[in-house]
Amino acid sequence: MSIKNFLVAGGIVAWPLLVFSLLGVALIIERIIFWYRIKSRERKIITTVLKLYQGNEPIAAIAKLKQNADLPMCRIFLEALVLQDATPTEFRLALETATQAELPLFKRFNTIFQTIIAVSPLLGLLGTILGLMRSFASLDIGNVSGTNATNVTGGISEALTSTVMGLVVAIMTLLFANSFRSLYLQQFALVQEYAGQLELLYRRFYERGDKPYAVTR
């Protein structure tokens, strides 16, 4: 069965389901690119930044962060490191505030994914009901010869096709949405880990009276 025939067989609900599937695919591709860009670069860059900062090279560390400011964790570190003579408490608050500002980017499109997951099976169920209603309307009880067999089979086909479409769209979106949620949780834990290391280094410099933390923008 061709895609066109499949959509025709699915009835009226096939079109919103098609829109949901295309939207879901587009957003999934965007999220895959987003997470690949982070996972392929971030750990190496942040490790280098921490080594530079620990080695009393804050200017080089900030330069490295600015070169990679498209990464969320680099932006988080920059917000704290550019503070002038901040106390450890102010430094920690800057890290926490910057982290909170980046969280929506990590969870981007989650609401849309959840909407697709919830609505797609309902649309499939609606198509099932409409298809069965069409089939029953074509039956002529007591007069088999008067029954429109084409409409009966067409209604059953619509019911089954719409159900399949709704489940496929929901299941596909659910699998990827859960994967992205897992990546978000991993990323949040990683941000906390590296931010904790940076805060510890800053506190040590501050308590010793060193000045690698006094960096201008």
Read off the pLDDT of residues 127-186 as tens digits, 9 standing for 90 and up: 888 777 776 666 555 554 545 555 556 556 666 788 888 999 999 999 999 999 999 999
CA distance 145 to 158: 23
Read off the pLDDT of residues 36-68 as tens digits, 9 standing for 90 and up: 999 999 999 999 999 999 888 888 999 999 999
Position 1 pLDDT exceeds 60: no
Structure tokens at 139: 């039956």
The structural domains of the chain, with segments of one domain joined by +, span 3-208
pTM score: 0.81
Read off the pLDDT of residues 105-115 as tens digits, 9 standing for 90 and up: 999 999 999 99
Mean pLDDT, the chain, integer: 84
- Tell me which residue has tokens 């959840």: 114
CA distance 75 to 186: 18
Task: Kindly report the backbone phi and psi dihedral angles of residue 141, in degrees, each rounded to the nearest multiple of 5, phi listed first.
Answer: -60, 130
The residue with greater pLDDT, 9 or 22, is 22
* pLDDT for 208: 78
How many C-beta neighbours within 10 Å does residue 107 have? Answer: 13
CA distance 151 to 73: 59
Position 25 pLDDT exceeds 80: yes
The residue with greater pLDDT, 11 or 73, is 73
Spatial contact of 116 and 167, defined as CB atoms under 8 Å apart: no
138 closest CA partner among 127, 154, 124: 154
* pLDDT for 48: 94
